[in-house]
Amino acid sequence: MALNELDARHIQNMSEAQTLVPHWGYANRALPCTNDKGSCEYLDLVYSAHDYGMLYSAILWATILGIVFIWALLRFVGKPSAPAIASGASPKAGLTKVRRSISSFTRRYLLPDACRAIFGRTTRFQVAVLTALIIYLTIWSFVGMTYHTWITPVKNMPGVYNTRTSLGPWSNRVGILAYALTPLSILLASRESILSLITGVPYQSFMFLHRWTGYIIFIQSALHTITWCIVEIRLYQPQPDVAAAWVAQLYVIWGIVAMILLLLLLVGSTPWGIRLTGYEFFRKSHYVLAMVYIGACWAHWALLKCFLLPSLLLWFVDRGFRFLRTAYLHYHHLPSGNMGFQASQATITRFPDEEHGDILRFDLQNDQDPWKVGQHYYLCFTESSIWQSHPFTPINAPYVENGVVKHSYIMRARGGETKKMAQLAAKKLQASETATTPIIMTGAYGETTMDHVTPDTNIVCVAGGTGIAYVLPVLLELARSPISRDRKIELIWAIRHATDAEWVQQEMDLLQQARKALNLKIRVFATRDASSRTSSKIRMEDEKDAKDTFRPVASSSSSSDVIDESCACGTDVPVRKIGQGIEDEDRHPNLPKLINDFVGNTITGPTTVFASGPGGMISDLRTIVAGCNSAGQVWKGNERFDVNLVCDDRLEW
């Protein structure tokens, strides 16, 4: 924006100015003011409100950085120097006791979903953080300025007056805050997240705040646009000359462009917009529109590039590190003997399912360092498209064998690229008994879920369908770790049909071998298979199961767990068929009962629930786990009431 446009807009008499006072993010102030008294007082407010706006933006960022710094300190205070799972007994006093009590209190009240109709499947904690941000921004939007109205004469036009109010300076304040939030929005959306590196919180957990920060920026920008339209089209005179001259200025045109781009970003990022256009179109268009929007903001008000330049740098750094990760994973010795980039060849196993979409299993080996349990990779199926990648969690435990690391993934082919891969796999397997496909990986991403697990931590793994991929590595890692006799471990897996367990038969066979040593109980529920038993008989068996809680693990296939059918993953694993239920909730495992019974029968130590599955299941588990926590009991030393939930919520809104 040309400075003379701003000078004319703010009626500064530059020809009579004795000095120019610089203002960061705004045009220089011409002093002394030679206009009428009202106009001079108005200009005083314009510049002071702007200066305070820049100060408040700095305070905003200082607050954010301070919170992140304190979070990082608390994260490492009292943290064991060695991996907890391999260490001795966990400390039960001092800072650890305080931290566990606070964590239990927080989970009790802030873990359940909050107003799902507005925020989706989001915890109260995240909504509380958002609320604090909104309150903070609201305060900074209004303080530090006076609210007044001046009626000032229009130069060389007797009898014509402008109405100057605090609306213009307030509009500028809101615009400054919108610019200040732009780098925060980019930071929250980064896959190569600096925030995750510092706080240990996985990048996907910041997506809720990213979306709502975007909504806040849109509201601020809309208010900025509307208020200046009121000022220039209604309050300034004469009309329509002032409005016509104003809207023709280049900085106004770019402001309108930025507002249109922001509207497209908003509409395209709603659940309805994503369903209408498809996720991949949303993702690609979101990247492009966001960068063009930042460019339009730069053209609209280049004096605030101090906020826009970091936004661009963060975006390009994020993309750059993604490419570096991919190159690092796939830069190997080629068959020719030279070093170069090479995709990994994955063996495909297909499990046909015409009703719900085929399940594909990919097994590959790669020369790399092992990832950590809980992390995932983005997979690009090059035979389908090199422009798309999707997140998948390896279902196997990470370890090096013969110089390579094995990866195993399962994927349900619903539509889009996954459906194309299923069709490709079916075609290949018709022509040959075995099929392979090249895969390019990027990762690993996400949290390391086993860091907080101590030898006395009891484990419940709850999975729905392909969500078994998230919890299996936990159990397989425990099977490779020192055994704790008092620890209880249980797997609850809901699948549509009993035969679906074949997806992970290799991994389940390994768990079967370690089952007795781990004190592991496996429950498999087939939600679409009907049992030959009546509903009343099943309820009687459930009640008996609640009483018969101390029987040996080896007998879990008898007594109340009547075998409708042996699981394909092992003859000792029963499958409870519950597809005959009349109500929808009757066709799902009774999670409140299962979790509460498990926690109530633990011998010692806290409990961690690992979960992955449909959004409804995760929401239910949040409520259940929250109810199991009691800060008072934890403070008294009763660790049974210290129950944590670790869930995979990458694709939930």
Mean pLDDT of 51-69: 96
Sign of the torsion angle spanned by Cα atoms 306, 309, 315, 321: negative
DSSP state of 234: I
Give me the chain's average pLDDT, please: 87
Return contacts of 321-326, CB within 8 angstroms, 24+ apart. Answer: 321/192, 322/191, 322/192, 322/442, 325/192, 325/442, 325/443, 326/440, 326/441, 326/442
Q: pLDDT at position 575, please?
A: 82
Q: Which of 145, 256, 274 is nearest to 207 (CA)?
A: 274
CA–CA gap between residue 134 and residue 394 (Å, rounded): 38
Q: Which of 430, 365, 368 is nearest to 396 (CA)?
A: 365
- Number of residues that make up the chain: 653
Mean pLDDT of 10-35: 84
- Residue 77 pLDDT exceeds 80: no
The pTM for the full model equals: 0.89
Q: What is the pLDDT of residues 317-333, one digit of tens each?
A: 999 999 999 999 999 88
Helix (H, G, I), strand (E, B) or coil at 174: helix
- Residue 337 pLDDT exceeds 80: no
Please tell me the least confidently modeled range out of 66-70, 101-105, 573-577: 573-577
Residues 6+ apart with CB under 8 A from 457: 90, 487, 605, 606, 607, 608
Q: pLDDT at position 48, please?
A: 96
pLDDT band at 508 (very low <50, low <70, confident <90, very high): very high
Cα Rg of the chain, angstroms: 30
CA–CA gap between residue 524 and residue 501 (Å, rounded): 9
**Is 368 in contact with 405 (CB distance < 8 Å)?**
yes
- Pair of tokens at residue 533: 């038993």
Q: Taking the domains of the chain in order of start, what are their residue ranges?
A: 1-77+124-248, 343-445, 458-647
Q: pLDDT at position 543, please?
A: 53
Q: pLDDT at position 534, please?
A: 53
**Which residue has 């009483």 as its token pair?**
547
pLDDT band at 571 (very low <50, low <70, confident <90, very high): low
Mean pLDDT of 520-535: 80
pLDDT band at 536 (very low <50, low <70, confident <90, very high): low
**Is 490 in contact with 520 (CB distance < 8 Å)?**
yes
Give the number of other Cβ atoms within 10 Å of residue 120's Cβ: 16
Burial 279-307 (b: 16+ CB within 10 A, else e): ebebeebbeebbbebbbbbbbbbeebbeb
CA–CA gap between residue 395 and residue 486 (Å, rounded): 26
Q: Which CATH number applies to 343-445? A: 2.40.30
Q: pLDDT at position 10, please?
A: 58
Q: pLDDT at position 132, please?
A: 96
pLDDT band at 79 (very low <50, low <70, confident <90, very high): low
Q: pLDDT at position 572, please?
A: 62
**Comparison of pLDDT for 480 and 264, the residue scoring more:** 264
Q: pLDDT at position 570, please?
A: 54
For β-strands 458-464 and 607-612, DSSP reports them as parallel
pLDDT band at 168 (very low <50, low <70, confident <90, very high): very high
**Is 594 in contact with 611 (CB distance < 8 Å)?**
no
Q: Which CATH number applies to 458-647? A: 3.40.50.80
Residues 6+ apart with CB under 8 A from 512: 569, 570, 572, 573
Q: pLDDT at position 564, please?
A: 56
Q: pLDDT at position 298, please?
A: 98
Mean pLDDT of 512-541: 77
CA–CA gap between residue 87 and residue 452 (Å, rounded): 11
